[in-house]
Amino acid sequence: MRRLPRKILLWLARSDRLRERLSSLPFMQRAVRRFMPGDTMDDALGAAVALQVLGIGTIYTKLGEALTELSQAQDVADHYLELLARIKTSELDGEISVKPTQLGLDIDEDACLAHLRTLAAAAEAQGSYLWIDMEDSSYVDRTLDLYQRLRATHPRTGICLQAYLRRTAKDVERLLPVNPAIRLVKGAYDEPEGVAFQHRREVDANYLGIAVTLLREGRTRPLRIGLGTHDAELVRQIASHAGAAGIPKGDFEVQMLYGIRAKEQRALARDGFRVQTLIAYGPAWYRWYMRRLAERPANVLFALRQLLP
Ligand SMILES: Cc1cc2nc3c(=O)[nH]c(=O)nc-3n(C[C@H](O)[C@H](O)[C@H](O)COP(=O)(O)OP(=O)(O)OC[C@H]3O[C@@H](n4cnc5c(N)ncnc54)[C@H](O)[C@@H]3O)c2cc1C
């Protein structure tokens, strides 16, 4: 039963007609503020200042995906270059996370790689870091390929892998030779049973197994491991595996989204974990926000409450 609302919300996320209609409704614009400090780079940087005071670092994502023209990808790359410069001048502990389709993957793969190289070089020069998001399963091969090519020359780059995909444990093995930085998430898209585990129990078990493998491998090679989840119980379980194996807290980090489990983020930071909050911003929030609703359909009630005066 829990899966049906999720599937419906993810189906709604793909509708361009609904995107046009719903994005302009004031109650939706109020509801999305729970997960986004605002539409602009200034809004995102402003939210980061408050987090930095609490010892929490930030990762920034400008929303938007599946572009149709290469000139739009150039605009996105320029935006991130400006953002990296602003992170540096604001003396923030900040990194960036990009979607390959936002940099033109659907239109021209070489152009997309060129943008990734430019952003990786800028991130390196400014002591920052470039993360690559993982989109739906039709993009996984191309995204892994881009990352392997990028990582060969740009070590301050990481990739997101999704524990709901049956293939992910093998993808980790494939990436290990490049000493990757991996952000492990559960996965946010609607995927068929042949491709992805459908039950939370299976996804969590796969997540735990992959995280433990990464921690073990991290003892003999320089991996960066990001646990991208709000599942505090799972994080504590992984931390206790690490503790039992003598792996220090500093060997992995916890990454969560802005507006979700904020208290837990602060508690983990107080307990000595490296915590990063991913701040998404920008006017193209519709698909991203619908995926947040799908993760917790109870959020729909919160959105509907914004209809009240
Ligand atoms: C830093 C970061 C980067 C990500 N990048 C990607 C990516 O590149 N590709 C991708 O497919 N997915 C990405 N995701 C999303 C991810 O795949 C999951 O869909 C999302 O994190 C929800 O799963 P969960 O791990 O939090 O666990 P769940 O089991 O879904 O949730 C655990 C608990 O967290 C809380 N929670 C979770 N989601 C919400 C929510 N939306 N609203 C309120 N409470 C919530 C609830 O209390 C829930 O019980 C990212 C997530 C994070 C944190």
260 lines ligand 1 (CB under 6 A): yes
64 lines ligand 1 (CB under 6 A): no
The number of the ligand 1 atom at minimal distance from the alpha carbon of 229 is 25
**Given the residues 183, 224, 274, 287, the one annotated as active site:** 183
In angstroms, what is the span from residue 288 Cα to ligand 1's centroid?
A: 12
Which of 144, 168, 186, 204 should be mutated for ligand 1, with most atoms under 8 A from CB? 186
Atom 35 in ligand 1: residue holding the nearest Cα? 230
143 lines ligand 1 (CB under 6 A): no
Closest by CA to 47, choosing from 38, 129, 198, 286, is: 38
| Residues in the chain with pLDDT values less than 70 | 1-2, 66, 309
The number of the ligand 1 atom at minimal distance from the alpha carbon of 200 is 29
34 lines ligand 1 (CB under 6 A): no
61 lines ligand 1 (CB under 6 A): no
268 lines ligand 1 (CB under 6 A): no
SS3 for the chain, per residue? CCHHHHHHHHHHHCCHHHHHHHHCCHHHHHHHCCCCCCCCHHHHHHHHHHHHHCCCEEEEEECCCCCCCHHHHHHHHHHHHHHHHHHHHCCCCEEEEECHHHHCCCCCHHHHHHHHHHHHHHHHHCCCCEEECCCCHHHHHHHHHHHHHHHCCCCCEEEEEECCECCHHHHHHHHHHHCCEEEEECCCCCCCCCCECCCHHHHHHHHHHHHHHHHHHCCCCCCEEEEECCCHHHHHHHHHHHHHCCCCHHHCEEEEECCCCHHHHHHHHHCCCEEEEEEEECCCCHHHHHHHHHHCCCHHHHHHHCCCC
In angstroms, what is the span from residue 125 Cα to ligand 1's centroid?
A: 31
Give the strand pairing for 157-162 and 130-132. parallel
Return the pLDDT at 201.
97
226 lines ligand 1 (CB under 6 A): no
- What domains can you pick out in the chain, each with its CATH number? 3-12+26-297 (3.20.20.220)
Which of 230, 236, 301 should be mutated for ligand 1, with most atoms under 8 A from CB? 230
The number of the ligand 1 atom at minimal distance from the alpha carbon of 204 is 29
* pLDDT tens string 107-119: 999 999 999 999 9
How many C-alpha atoms does 66 have within 13 Å on its Cβ side? Answer: 11
Rg (CA), the chain: 19
Using the CB atoms, write b or e for 261-290: b if 16+ within 10 Å.
eeebbeebbeeebbbbbbbbbbeebbbbbb
In angstroms, what is the span from residue 186 Cα to ligand 1's centroid?
A: 7
Return the pLDDT at 309.
67
In angstroms, what is the span from residue 33 Cα to ligand 1's centroid?
A: 17
Question: Any idea what the Cα angle at residue 83 is, between residues 99 and 31, rounded to 5°?
Answer: 65
Residues 6+ apart with CB under 8 A from 184: 160, 161, 163, 207, 210, 211, 214, 225, 226, 227, 228, 229
Active site residue 183: yes
In angstroms, what is the span from residue 144 Cα to ligand 1's centroid?
A: 21
Q: At what angle do helices 286-295 and 3-13 cross, to 10 degrees?
A: 180
